[in-house]
Amino acid sequence: MELNFDKMNGLIPAIIQDNSTRTVLMLGFMNQEAYQKTIETGKVTFFSRTRNQLWTKGETSGHYLDVVSISADCDQDTLLIKVNPHGPVCHTGADTCWNEKNEAEDIMFLKELQDFIDKRHEEMPEKSYTTSLFRSGVNKMAQKVGEEAVETVIEACNGTDERLIYEGADLIYHLIVLLTSKRVPHRRSWHANSVNVIVKTGKNTKQMEEQPLIVYRNVDINQQELGILNDVNF
């Protein structure tokens, strides 16, 4: 990476962002030496303009910033460094230098889950349930998604909230495994504007009535559960 240190007399600004929450944590400056040390150690090191020396964030507090990625802007004179922080970043004790909370939004669990499944897909460790799903093939994975969908519907209509959450989590997990195996782009999969959801209501159009329904076989459901499913309009 060719960086331009000349515009600010040997320094470039480095924006520090939490890799998980995407929260901007702080802004510091690096000279060539600080940048090289950051690359070599994997921990963010700045150049202090007041002390005129290098300082590694966390060397006193223990709140290091572990580097995940480093990228430069279009002019090659500013860095964006994504990190995993070991604690509050600001010297005041605040999570960020803007006194903001560094907390992930609830929806961010999908990113963490996707990252975990991506890693399993890449490494395929033995004795991993996720690995066994990938190796079972698309048909088996799709069948599993169908089973979990049926169980989620049953719990929603005639179960408990606790079981609904459990089955819903299973459905999301198995669906992401299937999407990953099919190499469907993540952004395309989860962006609301890119996903078309068709809901079949009780008042079906003639076109929908003529389309065959998908039946998931090999799902162990009893007569009571079957009755619940028949009462639900998809």
Same domain, 36 and 97: yes
Question: Is 69 a residue whose pLDDT tops 50?
Answer: yes
pLDDT for res 191 = 44
What tokens appear for 91 in the block? 């010297």
Q: How far is CA 152 from the centre of its chain?
A: 23
Query: Of 56, 85, 104, which marks where a domain is finished?
Result: 104
Mean residue pLDDT across the chain:
82
Q: Give a yes or no: residue 114 inside a domain.
A: yes
169-227: pLDDT as tens digits: 999 999 999 999 998 765 544 443 333 333 333 333 333 333 333 333 333 444 444 45
Q: Give a yes or no: residue 1 inside a domain.
A: no
Q: Which amino acid is at 100?
A: E
Same domain, 79 and 141: no
Angstrom distance (rounded) from CA 182 to CA 194: 17
Same domain, 56 and 141: no
Lowest-pLDDT choice from 5-14, 16-25, 71-80, 209-218: 209-218
90-147: pLDDT as tens digits: 999 999 999 999 987 767 778 888 889 999 999 999 999 999 999 999 999 999 999 9
Q: Which residue has the higher pLDDT, 231 or 221?
A: 231
Distance between the two ends of the chain, CA-based, in angstroms?
A: 53
Domain count, the chain: 2
Nearest to 172 by CA among 222, 106, 83, 226: 106
Angstrom distance (rounded) from CA 167 to CA 146: 12
pLDDT for res 194 = 36
Q: Give a yes or no: residue 3 inside a domain.
A: no
pLDDT for res 199 = 31
Give me the percent of the chain exceeding a pLDDT of 70.
77
Residue carrying the six token digits 């520090």: 16
Query: Of 42, 75, 104, which marks where a domain is finished?
Result: 104
Q: Give a yes or no: residue 24 inside a domain.
A: yes
Same domain, 36 and 64: yes
* Those residues with Cβ within 8 angstroms of residue 210's Cβ, 6 or more apart along the chain or in another chain: none
CATH of the domain at 33: 3.10.20.810
74-89: pLDDT as tens digits: 999 999 999 999 999 9
Nearest to 99 by CA among 115, 83, 88, 112: 88
Give the helix/strand (H/E) hosting 126. Answer: none
Residue 130 burial (10 A CB sphere; 0-12, 13-18, 19+): buried
| Domain span including residue 115 | 107-230
Q: Which amino acid is at 49?
A: R
pLDDT for res 173 = 94
Q: How far is CA 124 from the centre of its chain?
A: 19
pLDDT for res 203 = 35
Same domain, 118 and 174: yes
Same domain, 68 and 163: no
Does pTM surpass 0.75?
A: no
Query: Of 59, 76, 104, which marks where a domain is finished?
Result: 104
Same domain, 73 and 132: no
What tokens appear for 31 in the block? 């000279």
Helix, strand or coil, per DSSP, at residue 178: helix
Residue 123 burial (10 A CB sphere; 0-12, 13-18, 19+): exposed
